[in-house]
Structures are given as C-alpha cells and as structure tokens.
Amino acid sequence: MTDCLFCRISRGEIPAAKVAENDECLAFRDISPQAPVHVLVIPKKHYASLNEVPADEFRVVARMQDMAREVAVSEGIAATGYRSVINTGDEGGQTVSHLHLHLLGGRHMKWPPG
C-alpha cells in the first residue's frame, strides 16, 4: 500500500526515530508517547490489522513480539515491566490501518487502560 503512513516510514520516505530493525520488522518511537518509553513495532509488509494476517504468515506477529522484547531490554524496562499491545479495529483503538504493536514502559501501568 503506497499511501500507508507506516509503509512510508518503513520505506524511509518519512523520517522516524528508529530503535530497531531487521528484514521483517521495524521499531520506532511513537510521536505522541503515552509513557516514558513508547515504541511502535511494525511488520515491513503491509497488513491492515491483526485480522488481515494470513495463518501461514502469522509468524510475523511472533517476530514483532520478539523485537518488542529486545527493545524492552535495550531501553532498560525489561526488568521492571512493560506492556505490549496490539489494537485491532476502531473499537479496539486502532488509529493507523497498518498492524502495529505498542511497547510501553518506564512507569506503572494501570488496568483497565481507559
């Protein structure tokens, strides 16, 4: 998808504060952080949401979570705790139609988040 914001970030057309990258995923800082550490992890391949990932490609979600764990370690929040969230659809709070995982940490998280 050529006009997708996160696809454009992945291709380097829009600058982002990259935190980690590999062949399948990219992690970058959220421009409106909700915690001291707020990083988005995206697959480089476009999927509109978690619902759009075919069963035979679902390993990408595990790769995203693995990258989030690695970023939690590098950001110094792994030992104290962090939250990883994938919002799906409008009522789930998804605001960008590209699968992404929020990694949040650096403060005490409350539940429910609101």
Q: Is residue 112 part of a domain?
A: no
Round to whole Å and give the CA distance between 60 and 24. Answer: 7
pTM of model > 0.85? yes
Residues 37-56 pLDDT 10s: 999 999 999 999 999 999 99
**Total number of domains constituting the chain:** 1
Round to whole Å and give the CA distance between 20 and 57. Answer: 21
pLDDT band at 112 (very low <50, low <70, confident <90, very high): confident
The range of the structural domain enclosing residue 32 comes to: 5-105
Q: Is residue 110 part of a domain?
A: no
Task: Give the CATH number, domain containing residue 57.
Answer: 3.30.428.10
Q: Residue type for 76, please?
A: G
Q: Spot the catalytic one: 98, 100, 102, 108.
A: 100
Q: Is residue 114 part of a domain?
A: no
- Is residue 100 flagged as an active site residue? yes
Round to whole Å and give the CA distance between 45 and 114. Answer: 30
CA angle 107, 26, 54 (to 5 degrees): 105
